Amino acid sequence: MVAPAAVAVYRVLTVKHTADGRVFAAVDGGMSDNPRPALYGARYAVRLVGRASTAAEREVDVVGRHCEAGDVLVRSARLPADLRPGDLLAVPAAGAYQLSMASGYNLVGRPAVAAVRGGRARLLIRRESVEDFRAREVGR
């Protein structure tokens, strides 16, 4: 993949509202599958996919699952106020370096890659599993 390619799709795990009015949406990925925001300050757009919402938009920080201060995928994203766990968020043009820079940080496997054409998806690379990490161990 080269240039502004691919769309990263994340599932919202939790939505946190803080006392000072900030909203955080933690997703099932983060700096392990896309370290560019943390390393270089790369900026992405994000949008809700998979369901329609008529709720007003509000600022939401989309953060990763790694519990690191720098694990922020998109700061101040404009997303529906009714964002909830299970929702899907799409990050367009995130794929040029995403897969090549992905790591097994905190033993979170690298994501799957699928090609989509004409409304049909085809798996190109399966999601990395804990079993894949275990298979590399030699000191048993």
* Planar angle of CA 82, 83, 88, nearest 5 degrees: 145
CA angle 29, 75, 13 (to 5 degrees): 35
Please say whether the beta carbons of 94 and 49 come within 8 A: no
- Of 39, 55, 67, 116, catalytic: 67
Active site residue 67: yes
Give catalytic residue positions.
Answer: 67
